[in-house]
Amino acid sequence: MLALICWIVLSDRSFPEGKTMTDKMVGVTEQVDNALREVLGYLPPDDEDLTGSIDSMQKLELLVLLEQNLAIPFQDEALGADWWASRSGIIGYVESARAQVGSS
């Protein structure tokens, strides 16, 4: 069921009126910070261990927010990885995903 919800939510890759791929890919740190504030209710320090603070639904919510705001199609295996263990880890993961999108 979760996979179906993910597929439905993540399959819509349309951009808002007047936005381009370049516009959507600027400000990774800002977008990550905004997503964390929305999902967690606060902005954790770079080195804070989020392992016990974030559950799988919050990870999914982060992926959806980041994909919508940065137009990066994240892979399903991201939910099982430790990209979400810290703010700096999330930023690094998003930068890596953005680089992969840019090179394809």
Give the pLDDT of residue 77. Answer: 78
Give the pLDDT of residue 20. Answer: 52
Q: d(Cα 44, Cα 63) in Å, to the nearest integer?
A: 17
SS (H, E, C) 27-61: CHHHHHHHHHHHHHCCCCCCCCCCCCCCCHHHHHH
Look at residue 8 and tell me whether its pLDDT is greater than 80: no
Q: Residues 30-53: what's their mean pLDDT? A: 92
Return phi, psi of residue 5, to 5°. Answer: -60, -45
What domains lie within the chain, and their CATH numbers? Answer: 21-103 (1.10.1200.10)
Return phi, psi of residue 90, to 5°. Answer: -65, -45
45-102 pLDDT, tens digit each? 988 999 888 888 998 999 999 999 888 888 777 778 888 899 999 999 998 888 887 7
Q: How confident is the model at residue 26 (pLDDT cuts 50, 70, 90)?
A: low
Look at residue 13 and tell me whether its pLDDT is greater than 70: no
Q: d(Cα 13, Cα 101) in Å, to the nearest integer?
A: 13
